[in-house]
Amino acid sequence: MELQLALDLVDIPEAIEIVKEVEEYIDIVEIGTPVVKIWGLEAVKQMKEAFPNLRVLADLKTMDAAAYEVMKASEAGADIVTVLAAAED
């Protein structure tokens, strides 16, 4: 079993502080859609830099331009990116 921490209503410094408190107990840290909308992929980048041993999930819920958005999230350090089932290949 793996444990995922979802961060939806925090800024980047708050997110990093929260993860510091629980890092040893989690496997995946999710940068939630609200965080991405407010802070952009910079939140993903900073989280991966701060915690390189954790998997970082960018909850983009991508629908359009899926290949491009996943590529950009990956470049920012995301290990996992959410894509809606009806999105283009």
Per residue of the chain (89 residues), give pLDDT as tens.
999 999 999 999 999 999 999 999 999 999 999 999 999 999 999 999 999 999 999 999 999 889 999 999 999 999 999 999 887 76
Q: What is the DSSP letter of 25?
A: G
User: What would the two tokens of residue 35 be?
Assistant: 């965080």
Tell me the C-alpha distance between 79 and 48, whole Å. Answer: 9
CATH number attached to the domain at 4-83 = 3.20.20.70
CB 22 within 8 A of CB 29: no
Position 40 scores a pLDDT of 97
Tell me how long the chain is.
89
CB 54 within 8 A of CB 30: no
3-state secondary structure at position 56: strand
